[in-house]
Chains A and B, each alone.
Chain A
Amino acid sequence: MAKQGAIDRDALTRRDFLKLLGAGGLALVFTPFIDWGKYMPNPDTAVPRRQQVILSDGTHANVNTFPINHQEIITYPSTADPVLNKEAFRQWNLIRLPAYLGGNVNDVTAFRVYSVICLHLWCMWKYVPVGEKNGNDKGQCPCHGSMYDPFSGKAIAGPASVQASPSNVLPILDLETDAEENLWIKPPVWNVNKNGVIGYGRNLA
C-alpha cells in the first residue's frame, strides 16, 4: 500500500498519456506516406520459375489423361502457404479445348491456361463446356456477363469485350511436356506483349 502523499513512479501521468496520444496521432498522420508497396510481392522483381501443373486432386496433369473439353483450376506460382495459394491472382483455368478446336491432339497445343480474373471487374470466370452444340463452349463470367473465346482468351461478348486492348485478352501461361507427357508451366514474362498482366490483359500476337 502506497504511503499517502508519496509519488507512484509507475503510474501514468496525464502528461505522459497526452504524449502517447500525440505520438500515436503523429504516426498515423505519416502512415499514408509510407511506401507500403515495396513490402508486397513484386512480380517484376520475382523470378518466375518452371512449375508442374498440379490438379486439385494432387496429381500431375498429363496430356494422355486430362479429358477433352474440360477445365480445372490450377495454382501458379504455388507456394508452401496454402492460404496464399488460394489467392485469386494465383488461380488459373487449365482448359483442354473441345475436339473441334484441336483438343483431341495429344500435345500441349490442345491446352490453354488463362488467368481466372475477369478483365472487367476482377470476378472469377469459368470455362463452360456446353457440349451440346459446337461453338457454344466458352468462358463465362457471371459478373455482368463477359464471355471469353477459349482458343485465344479474347473477350467475345459482354463488358470485357468492349474494353480497349490489352484489357480484352486474358493473360496466358505457356505449357510444355516432359518425357512422360506431364504438363509443366514455362516461366512466364509478365508484360502485356508476352504472357500478359493479371487483371489487366495481354496484347494478342
Chain B
Amino acid sequence: MKTLLLLITVFLSLGTIFTATNLAFSQEMQPGQENIQFIPVVPTEKSSVTALIQVFSLDIYCTNYTIDHVLSGHVLVMNVKTKTIPGGKCPMPAESYVSLRQGIGQLGFGTYDVKLFINGTQKAAIKLYVSQGQIEITATGKYTDKQGDAHIVGDVKNTASYPVRLVQIDVSFVNGDEVVEDKKLYTTMAVLMPQTSSGFDLLVDSKNLANMKYFVRAGSFLKDTSKIQQGLKLSTESSWQSSSGIGMVSGIVLNAANINASQVKVVCVLYDQTGTGVLDSIFEYTNPSSIASGQSSDFVLSSHYPITSQFTPNCNAESPQLAILSTETVPEFAMPVIVFVASLTFMILFKKSLQIVNNP
C-alpha cells in the first residue's frame, strides 16, 4: 500500500514538470477503390478545406455525379450520388476513377470523423485533424532518391497574419497503432511570410522506417519580429523534364527593394498531376546568389530523382535581407507565341513592302 502511494506521489510530482504531449496526427490515406483525401492534409482553422474524392467507375462517361456534405459537430458526411445518363453513348473509359472535388470551407479545431457515402452506402472513413496552430500541412509525399534513400517531403503554409520562423515539422512513423519513431526537421525557408509556403524534406536514414506509414504535423514556430523587408519578385518561367527524367524548374528573381540581397534562395515543391501529392521538395541559390537593388538573377532547380509524370512547381524565395514580395508563373507558351507572332508580322510586312516595291 505504501509503495503504491509512493508511486502515485512520484507520478503526480512528475506530472507537474512534464506537461502532456498532445499528439495530433494527419489523416491516413486509405488505399482502395473509393478514396477520400483533403487539401490541406492538416488544415488550420484559417485554412480553406477541399475534399478530393476518388470514385471507382466503369461507366465514367454515362454517369452524372452529384456531391454534397453535411457537417454535424465533428462528424463530416460526404454524399456522392450517381445517376446514369439515359441513352448516352458510352465509350470505353481511359481511366476507371472519377476524381470529384468539394469545397468544405473553414473548420474549427479538433478531430473530425469523415465518412464517404456513395449512393447511401458507406465506402470509406477517415479522420481529419484541424490544427489550432497557424501552420497548415498542405500536402505530403515520399520519394526514393537516386542513391536508394527514402525521403518524406511536403509543403507547409503560414496561415497567420504575421511572419514566422524556425517552423519545425514533426514526422511520426507508425506500425499499426504504435508510433515507432518521431523525427523533427525545419522547413527549407527560414522565414515564412503570411500566406506563403515552404517545402520540407526529411531523409529517412533507417531502412526499417522507409516503408512505414507516417503522419506529419507542424510542431513549433516563432513569430518573426525582425520586420524583414519584402522585395523579391519571383517569376517561374518554365518547368520541364530533362532527357534523364530529372524535373527542372527555371525562372528569375528580381530585387525590387532599395537594398542589396545576398544568398538569394529559391525553394520549390513539385506537385503531382492531381495537385494532391508532393513529388519532391528542392532548393537552389540564384546564379549569382547576390542581387543588387533593381537587378535580377536566374535560377535553375533540379529534382532529386527522375520524375516520370508531369509536375507543377510551387515556389518561394528569400534571402537573409529580403523576403518575397510577389510570385508569378509565366506561361510556358508565352515566348514561342511571341516569336511566332513576331515572325508572322515580319513576313506580312516584308511581303507588303515587296509588293510596294514591285508595284509602285
Contacts and interface: CB of A to CB of B under 8 A. Distances in A.
A142 B6 contact: no
Interface in B66-121: none
A159 interface: yes
Interface in B114-162: 145-147, 149
A161 B244 CA distance: 31
Interface string B159-194: 000000000000000000000000001111110000
Given A129-B146, A144-B186, A144-B190, A86 B206 contact: yes
Given A11-B1, A86-B206, A132-B302, A24 B267 contact: no
A161 B202 CA distance: 21
A124 B203 contact: yes
Contacts of B283: 140, 142, 145
A157 B285 contact: yes
A10 B1 contact: yes
Interface string B10-27: 100100010000000000
Interface in B178-237: 185-190, 199-203, 205-207
Given A86-B205, A126-B203, A21 B188 contact: no
Contacts, number: 89
A103 to B, nearest CB: 14
B312 to A, nearest CB: 20
A121 B201 CA distance: 14
Interface in B1-55: 1-2, 5-6, 9-10, 13, 17
Nearest to B199: A142
A45 B138 CA distance: 47
B265 A158 contact: yes
Nearest to B1: A12
A15 B256 CA distance: 74
Contacts of B244: 132
Contacts of A157: 263, 265, 285, 289
A10 B17 CA distance: 31
Chain A, interface SS category: mixed
A123 interface: yes
Given A145-B265, A159-B190, A128 B304 contact: yes
A20 interface: yes
B242 interface: yes
Interface residues of A, number: 39
A12 B188 contact: no
B5 A20 contact: yes
Nearest to B16: A28
A132 B246 contact: yes
B239 interface: no
A143 B205 contact: no
A176 interface: no
Contact of A142 (B188, B205, B207): B188
A168 interface: no
A174 interface: no
A48 interface: no
Given A12-B2, A24-B9, A25-B13, A123 B149 contact: no
B281 interface: yes
A165 interface: no
Nearest to A147: B285
Interface in A1-56: 10-12, 16-17, 20-21, 24-25, 28, 56
A71 B147 contact: yes
A124 B9 CA distance: 40
B13 A24 contact: yes
B284 to A, nearest CB: 9
A160 to B, nearest CB: 11
Contacts of A17: 5, 9
B10 A24 contact: yes
Contact of A73 (B2, B205, B242, B289): B205
Interface in B250-307: 263, 265, 267, 281, 283, 285, 289, 302, 304
Contacts of B200: 142
Choose among A116, A121, A143 the residue with the greatest number of B CB atoms under 10 Å from its CB: A143
Interface of B: 1-2, 5-6, 9-10, 13, 17, 145-147, 149, 185-190, 199-203, 205-207, 242, 244, 246, 263, 265, 267, 281, 283, 285, 289, 302, 304, 320
28 contacts: A12-B5, A20-B6, A21-B9, A24-B9, A56-B207, A71-B147, A86-B205, A86-B206, A128-B145, A128-B304, A129-B146, A132-B246, A142-B185, A142-B203, A142-B281, A143-B188, A144-B186, A144-B187, A144-B189, A145-B188, A145-B190, A145-B267, A145-B285, A157-B263, A157-B265, A157-B289, A158-B265, A161-B263
Interface of A: 10-12, 16-17, 20-21, 24-25, 28, 56, 70-73, 86, 88, 91, 116, 121, 123-124, 126, 128-130, 132, 136, 140, 142-145, 147, 157-159, 161-162
Given A28-B13, A126-B203, 9 more contacts: A17-B5, A73-B149, A88-B205, A124-B185, A128-B145, A142-B201, A143-B185, A157-B289, A159-B190
